[in-house]
Structure 1
Amino acid sequence: MRRRVVFWVEEYFYNPNFIQKFLSFLLLPLSWIYCFCMYLRFKSKTAQDFGIDIISVGNLSVGGSGKTPLVTALASRYEDVAIVLRGYGRESRGLVVVSDGNKILCGVDKSGDEAMIYAHKLPNVKVIVSENRNDGVLKAKEIGAKILFLDDAYSKHDIKKLDILIDVESKNSSCLPSGPFRERLWKGKEAVVIRDGIDFKRVVELKNKSDKMSLVTAIARPQRLDSYLPEVVGKNYFEDHHSFVRDEVLNILKKDNAESVLVTYKDFVKLEQFGLPLSLLDLHVEVNEDILKIVDNYRRK
């Protein structure tokens, strides 16, 4: 049931049918109220300088945008780096140091899938999950970070930072609940807006290929993968941040008569513990030099 609701909401936000468009129209008054409240929240905040270079990468709408590979690409260029994120889908609460830049200190159940991706792909980077980003920033400074990346923190208007926003196309440009937008790019709020395919491009490498692969993925709007997919014998979509159990994946292998399960890295960090045959769609991004210079120039201020 939860999976069906999540997929319905994603369709409602990004590719609505007639009934969903009508519902969106009916909810417009609530969206106006919500958006006005978010504007008042923005105006009430004063950005605090934490004495460390902070770059936030995210998007204004709900759902996936490619921020994880983009943060990975940017963070890999520097030393003494920390990444702080909320840790969606984790079973823990509060502040958890996932990696101290030398070793991974917890499992994916306590870190969440996105934090574990960073810990795997950037072994020299400190990775911290915390619902309170301010606490995460202070912890990063305490353990020696000199530059910090915030995953999806545009709305943290009380933190002085460089905001990089990935522009996500949608047929519905309204705020919640009528549309997918959590906030607007407020007047007086500086941000660098970048576009997939223009300011950065995705590069996908297929690892451990088999002749009969079945796609299993738990990412937002999984149809985004279609243009990168090799031939597969089945497609199995789960809601974003879904916590897999071994038997459900094993049953998919049997149902699709597959030799391996094809996964993204976000799924891989949760499935590798099961000892099942995995093929990997390993995604990274190449960033336009102009964007890299913006980050470098921000550091020199």
Structure 2
Amino acid sequence: MKLLVFGKTGQVATELQAQAEVTALGRPQADLSDPEACAAAIASGDWDAVINAAAYTAVDRAEEEEALALVINGAAPAAMARACAVRGLPFLHISTDYVFEGGGTASWRTTDPVAPQNAYGRSKLAGEEGVRAAGGQHAILRTSWVFSAHGANFVKTMLRLSATMDNLSIVADEVGGPTPAADIAAALLEMARQMKTDPNKGGTYHFGGTPAVSWADFAAAIFARAGRRVTITPMPSADYAAGMRDKGRTHAARPLNSRMDSTTLKTDFGLSQPDWAAGLDAVLKTLEAQT
């Protein structure tokens, strides 16, 4: 397949390039702050499918740059989807659990009402709405707590902090499914193949790692598997947010519940939730080899 990928250095984009021969466009080739330039990139090439793995992901900064986030996460995917619809190309787009209000303990289903609680979530919801409105074949893949050996993510932050600290306070009342970027990439590639074969396939799906854990429990698993001796002090997310504000830093509201029901992805594409522990072991092995 001839796959066009928006994004080049992000976690999922990096994994897509590692797993398949794709044409990956970074910001110099396709700046998402210029949606029509992204649409032009689709129109000018010979593609079998298009995957958008690029986004504005600075959750806290988005509170002050919501207009920019709305262009990158909202207008750009919409323009891509329209360009794909014109050419009859499957378009796959990554979204987030942040489109939900984030309460309760039940896993979010694709049919649950959306109610984003921060600017980042609103911008991602705008992208979803624009992709659907384009009217072409599409798949929106909502995911959560992405980690890999690349870029900035929770796993790498915990390893960095534990190199010099033996006691860390970690949020314990936010619960979700850590999701390996490698598994997201593999899922997108399989979905693209199936969508190219069957033009009736597509829709909105969830893909989150299993089992669900808190950030504190995930940190404990990271330290145990990496052989780091760190004492974890559980803390409420409200205390963390207050601490950020005391330091004069913006802190966007986070969902307490990021559990994702991935049933429909299994039904439509035969794809199961990834085991985050296996993904974590693979990431730690990669990071160890890089040192």
* TM-score category (smaller protein): under 0.3
The answer to which structure has the higher helix fraction is: 2
Q: Which has the larger radius of gyration?
A: 1
TM-score (norm 1): 0.25
The answer to which structure has the higher strand fraction is: 1
